[in-house]
Structure 1
């Protein structure tokens, strides 16, 4: 675990230790849930830096980790589609996921347990459309079908607000780790991880918009706090195909992740 991540999580843990959970707010997070969502986000985490310390979370029953894992897949695909739309086809291909990919494979038992069909066929269709350069219409259609299938698997409006918000925290932690891999002393040394961090952050920002009005009404204070945290995130990606120096600090992502977790307890 890198030093920035240690520092921000230590700050979050210190504040959490002195936080009193208020009644009638978002459900409190147990110590076990806090540990697994922050330290070991995913079962069967990928080889790209996602899910450090993986193996401690059961995606079949842990909704926040399940949503976070789906969010990572969304993030890869989101940035891949954006690169494709900008004409960076070779880069776009590197972000397309296949059913045998580790991120998706870790979800298969969860789909079975949750009585979800998954989106293996849709994932393959998009990857094939991009990799075989089938054209814009085919890529657009495949992407829209895949997004709809992922949305069906997520069922955000049927999850607790706490789990939805915690999934955002986990995605931003992972984005921070990817940013650290991608950027060293202002230079982008790994553009793929730099782009992944962008995708994960954008999906975290978008997911909160999927909450229903009833979810918002019942958890207004926590959601308002998280929306503020997301709005205050600095722009760390002047472009997703950078040249020259990048003035960004992953600490902003770690800090936002810690603040979002705190918001679920206040």
Structure 2
């Protein structure tokens, strides 16, 4: 995590340098200091653990009260499931199975106390239903219905429209940081060395891009400037996944994910 934190700060510092005037740079430096103070609290999953790169179940923050981290953790689950469903739809059943989550999975288990504290239902039953439908080859109709039911249950647990826009945007920053780390694990010197992590990075990024559209019209109107800036940042992300089942050389660069994460976090501080 320390190395990625240095990368994040380096990108942020470069952005500040490009701003131009001394006065603007001074303001940016203050923003960077504030962003650094936020970093370890709202992006706790990026490289904090071992194994998959998400730092699953790291416990770095209290998901019962930290909305940004709570939404980020839910976003990681969404990302796994999203790419798993996409792989299933493309006929890659074996790969799809590796992304299906279960209630005993660390990512979900870490959220259970938060569900209880927040007075929301979890979605263990729906997770199991989707995993069973895919793993037991129950057919497209069963898989599609299980996925629809699960997404609805996650929506209900997230309650995005009841969260502050700042928390929502900070969750996007955290997810993109994690996507960057997953991409680094998956792609080395242009070669795919871990396709699962490469696919996870795709899923996390796709969910981060989509979450901004979950905000209500009232939230969007009250935070129009910040949301416009973030939407532009997301729109400028290059296509790092020409396919989610790649062969041959991949020319993507994870630094664009880290840069977007830093810029989004800075946008929340303005």
Q: Say yes or no: TM over 0.5.
A: yes
CA contact (8 A) 1:183 1:189 kept: yes
2:245 — aligned with what?
A: 241
User: Where is the helix percentage greater, Structure 1 or Structure 2?
Assistant: 2
Matching residue within 229, 233, 237 for 1:229: 233
The equivalences for 1:1-266 within 5 A come to 1=1, 3=3, 6-12=6-12, 15=16, 18-19=27-28, 32-38=37-43, 40-41=44-45, 47-51=51-55, 54-266=58-270
1:26 — aligned with what?
A: none
Query: Partners of 1:249 and 1:186 in 2: how far apart?
Result: 9
SS in structure 1 of the partner of residue 204 of structure 2: helix
Cα shift at 1:176: 0.1
Question: Structure 1 144/52 Cα, relative in aligned 2: closer, same or farther at 3 Å?
Answer: closer
The C-alpha deviation readout for 1:14-61, integer Å capped at 9, x for no partner, is 859844999xxxxxx7865433123x238x967411038933200000
1:25 — aligned with what?
A: none
Question: Structure 1 46/60 Cα, relative in aligned 2: closer, same or farther at 3 Å?
Answer: farther
Question: Structure 1 5/34 Cα, relative in aligned 2: closer, same or farther at 3 Å?
Answer: closer
Question: Structure 1 85/172 Cα, relative in aligned 2: closer, same or farther at 3 Å?
Answer: same
Query: Partners of 1:133 and 1:161 in 2: how far apart?
Result: 40
SS in structure 2 of the partner of residue 264 of structure 1: helix
Q: What runs of 5+ residues in structure 1 fail to find an aligned partner? A: 23-28
CA contact (8 A) 2:57 2:106 kept: no
The C-alpha deviation readout for 1:125-170, integer Å capped at 9, x for no partner, is 0000000010000000000000000000001010000000000000
SS in structure 1 of the partner of residue 59 of structure 2: coil
Query: Partners of 1:102 and 1:6 in 2: how far apart?
Result: 27
Question: Structure 1 58/20 Cα, relative in aligned 2: closer, same or farther at 3 Å?
Answer: same
- Per the normalisation by structure 1, the TM-score is 0.90
Cα shift at 1:10: 3.5
Cα shift at 1:195: 0.1
Q: What runs of 5+ residues in structure 2 fail to find an aligned partner? A: 17-24
CA contact (8 A) 2:176 2:208 kept: yes
CA contact (8 A) 1:9 1:254 kept: no
Q: How many residues align?
A: 258
Question: Structure 1 132/168 Cα, relative in aligned 2: closer, same or farther at 3 Å?
Answer: same
The C-alpha deviation readout for 1:89-130, integer Å capped at 9, x for no partner, is 000000000000000000000000001110000000000000
RMSD (Å), alpha carbons = 2.4
SS in structure 2 of the partner of residue 199 of structure 1: helix
Query: Partners of 1:216 and 1:141 in 2: how far apart?
Result: 31
Asked which structure has the greater RCO (Cα within 8 Å, sep 6+), the reply is 1
- Per the normalisation by structure 2, the TM-score is 0.89
